Amino acid sequence: MLRSRFFLKVYAVYVGLILLAIAVVGALVAQKVEQRAQESIQQYLADQAALVRELSSPAFGRSSSPSLHDRLRALGGSIGARLTVIRADGVVIADSQESPSAMDNHARRPEVLVALSEGYGTATRFSETVGATMMYVALSVREGGQLLGYVRASLPLAAIEKQTDSLRAIVGLGGGVAALVALPLGLFLARRLVRPLTLMTAVAESMVQGNYDERLDITGKDEVGQLAHTLNRMAESARDRVEAISTDRNKLLTILGSMVEGVIAVDRDGIVLHMNAGAARLLAAEAEECLGKGIREVTRVHDIRDAIDKAMREGTEVQGELRLATLQSHRVVEMRASPLRNGEGTLVGAVVVLDDVSALRRLETVRRDFVMNMSHELKTPITAIRMLAETLIGDKKMGSKTRKRFLSKIRDQSTRLSSIVTDLLALARLESENAVLDTELVDLRDVVLTSIRPLLPDTAEEGPTVTTVAPDAPISVLGDDEALGQATRNLLENALKYTPNDGRVWVRLRSEEGRAVVEVEDTGIGIAPRDQLRIFERFYRVDKARSRELGGTGLGLSIVKHIALAHEGTVTVESRVGDGATFRLVLPLASSPA
Ligand code: ADP
């Protein structure tokens, strides 16, 4: 408190004012007291002079009066004043201290001159006779209008000053006592005045530091109390506001942080104000490190920088598509840069939203390819059927044998068309997001063995030898027996299609490590590694002509893949060209502890 500048100022002003007041009042009082003292001394001298006048009137006219002189001497000794009787012509007749003969003519003494004209004269001057500064009071003595002379009483100023000095001392003492009382009182008052301000300053300071919990314990209805109350309310509303702002800010940051889209906000100078995780991921940057840096430093992608510049320059949204290539990936990103404006509509920066549309674009490509492939696949049998039919209609003379052959070709093509459509429908059903599978607890042995039975060649028939290997214990899986049957059938059909008649095919069933495995191995033509990556795609066939000839649609394996996925399983292939292939369908066992 004592170090507070305000306190020092207040106290200094207070001390100054008190001292000034004491000085002024003291001076005035001292002056008044001195004046009064002088007046009363003057009065006293006048009274003494009047007394002497009465005493001395008979002595006028004589050049000197020894008896008067003695009486004056006695009187002056007792009252402490010097008394003088002067004749009208200025000759001193008697004096209480000096011998009249030794005294020069007093006619021109100032107090005598004034008394001559006004009857009463005073003067304060140096006395040649006494050799000290004196105060004189002279009265004229008249009789019947005729001036007889003067009487004079005087006191040395030293005596008067002694009196006034003691009065001054009393006034000074009074002032000193007043100052002694007033200064500590002032200290107390200044403290009382400054303390709330010091407390308020401390609270305001802590608000600046971000602490809004400090409150003032100052009551009172005066201005200081009201100010303290207002400050408390201010702290409260500031805390509420800051809390609301920080809640909003956190919400915003959480929303921005969890957005898949990348968001970058820059100020008018292109300095990054915010970059969310999505944007950092796309730009392969560290969001924290980018804050406060120029966008040019943050990304080398010109399109982003140009879009920001344009959005700010033209004040409109700028859209575009970018290709962002990192070591790991190529991404297609849709970009929208918009100008950022504050509440007054002034441009304060720009915000860029980056939307990774790679998956969408890939999907679009896949869909386009699929539609093209499908149209192509459907077109071939349809064209064949149309041409065969047109030939049949146009050629009236066609022999019945040829006609029969044409008709059976039409039947083959329509069968093919039907199987394509059936496969497509199966695929569409499996691909649809809410693919409905009739899931139940099934023994995979029953499902597999039942489904492949119609495909197993009779002993009389030509074809690869098929061996089925299944364990004694049931293999329980949760699944759709229809779908699982179809998957197995597709695998076995392929094995039979791509394996020469003298080859061998094994259908093996087993459970291992909590999984059920359906393995279809053949000794057929095998699949090259690069094709192995693609055979599960729709319509992908290694040898189109051969597949078609064998009645394949190119959809079989992709149906298997979707069935496996729908059962949370996988399908894989191992193969070497000319050395057969092994397809493995792996599904979770129902009894496995999840
Ligand atoms: P497809 O109807 O043509 O058989 P799939 O989707 O069932 O269609 O198979 C895709 C391609 O994978 C086939 O065209 C074939 O080239 C190859 N393929 C599938 N199974 C085998 C196999 N067991 N041996 C060799 N190639 C196979």
Which CATH number is 491's domain given?
A: 3.30.565.10
Asked whether the beta carbons of 567 and 587 are under 8 A apart, the reply is yes
Please check the confidence at residue 94 and state whether its pLDDT lies above 50.
yes
Which residue has the CA at smallest separation from atom 7 of ligand 1?
Answer: 556
Give the Å distance between the CA of 550 and the centre of ligand 1: 10
Q: Report the pLDDT averaged over residues 121-140.
A: 87
Give the Å distance between the CA of 541 and the centre of ligand 1: 6
Q: Which atom of ligand 1 is found nearest the CA of 580? A: 24
Q: Mapping DSSP to helix (H, G, I), strand (E, B) and coil, where does residue 512 land?
A: strand
Domain assignment present for 169: no
Q: Is residue 445 located within the same domain as residue 551?
A: yes
pLDDT score, position 594? 43
Q: Is residue 101 located within the same domain as residue 72?
A: yes
Which structure tokens are listed for 516?
């059920």
Per the structure, the complete domain to which residue 134 belongs is given by: 7-164
CATH code of the domain in which 75 resides: 3.30.450.20
Domain assignment present for 212: no
Length of the chain: 594
* Weakest mean pLDDT among 74-88, 488-502, 514-528: 74-88
Q: Which atom of ligand 1 is found nearest the CA of 555? A: 6
Q: Is residue 366 located within the same domain as residue 331?
A: no
How much of the chain exceeds pLDDT 70, in percent?
A: 97
pLDDT score, position 1? 59
Which structure tokens are listed for 134?
């004196």
Q: Is residue 493 located within the same domain as residue 532?
A: yes
Strands 570-575 and 146-156: unpaired
What burial class does residue 590 get, using C-beta atoms within 10 Å of its C-beta: 0-12 exposed, 13-18 middle, 19+ buried?
middle
Task: Choose the final residue of a domain: 164, 193, 217.
Answer: 164
Q: Which atom of ligand 1 is found nearest the CA of 548? A: 3
How many domains does one find in the chain? 4
Query: Per residue in 178-213, pLDDT tens?
Result: 888 888 888 888 888 888 888 888 888 888 888 888
Domain assignment present for 114: yes
Going by pLDDT thresholds of 50, 70 and 90, the confidence category of residue 405 is very high
Q: Is residue 31 located within the same domain as residue 154?
A: yes
Q: Is residue 496 located within the same domain as residue 568?
A: yes
pLDDT greater at residue 412 or residue 549: 412
Q: How far is CA 409 from the centre of its chain?
A: 79
Answer whether 527 contacts ligand 1 (Cβ < 6 A). yes
Answer whether 179 contacts ligand 1 (Cβ < 6 A). no
Domain assignment present for 172: no
Asked whether the beta carbons of 442 and 450 are under 8 A apart, the reply is no
- DSSP label at 432? S
User: What average pLDDT does the chain have?
Assistant: 87
Query: Per residue in 417-470, pLDDT tens?
Result: 998 898 888 888 887 766 667 889 999 999 999 999 988 877 667 889 999 999
Q: Mapping DSSP to helix (H, G, I), strand (E, B) and coil, where does residue 291 land?
A: coil
Q: Is residue 55 located within the same domain as residue 110?
A: yes
Q: Report the pLDDT averaged over residues 83-97.
A: 88
Which residue of 489, 492, 498, 579 sits with most ligand 1 atoms within 8 Å of its CB, as the best mutation to test the pocket? 498
pLDDT score, position 333? 93
Answer whether 486 contacts ligand 1 (Cβ < 6 A). no
Q: Is residue 284 located within the same domain as residue 369?
A: no
Domain assignment present for 338: yes
Q: Is residue 451 located within the same domain as residue 556?
A: yes
CATH code of the domain in which 388 resides: 1.10.287.130
Q: Is residue 487 located within the same domain as residue 576?
A: yes
Query: Per residue in 269-301, pLDDT tens?
Result: 999 999 999 999 888 888 888 889 998 888 888
Q: What is the CA radius of gyration of the chain?
A: 65
Q: Is residue 340 located within the same domain as residue 405?
A: no
* Weakest mean pLDDT among 59-63, 76-80, 217-221: 59-63
Q: Is residue 396 located within the same domain as residue 456?
A: no
Domain assignment present for 239: no
Question: Other C-beta atoms within 10 Å of 78: how many?
Answer: 9
Q: Report the pLDDT averaged over residues 31-41.
A: 82
Asked whether the beta carbons of 378 and 417 are under 8 A apart, the reply is yes
Asked whether the beta carbons of 270 and 294 are under 8 A apart, the reply is yes
Please check the confidence at residue 53 and state whether its pLDDT lies above 60.
yes
How many whole angstroms separate alpha carbon 216 and alpha carbon 207? 12
Please check the confidence at residue 515 and state whether its pLDDT lies above 70.
yes
Task: Choose the final residue of a domain: 132, 164, 196.
Answer: 164
pLDDT score, position 592? 47
Give the Å distance between the CA of 554 and the centre of ligand 1: 7
Asked whether the beta carbons of 317 and 338 are under 8 A apart, the reply is yes
The sign of the dihedral angle between the CA atoms of 556, 561, 565, 570 is: positive
pLDDT score, position 388? 93
Q: How far is CA 377 from the centre of its chain?
A: 63
How many whole angstroms separate alpha carbon 287 and alpha carbon 169? 83
Task: Choose the final residue of a domain: 413, 429, 445.
Answer: 429
Strands 465-469 and 440-443: unpaired
Strands 504-512 and 465-469: parallel
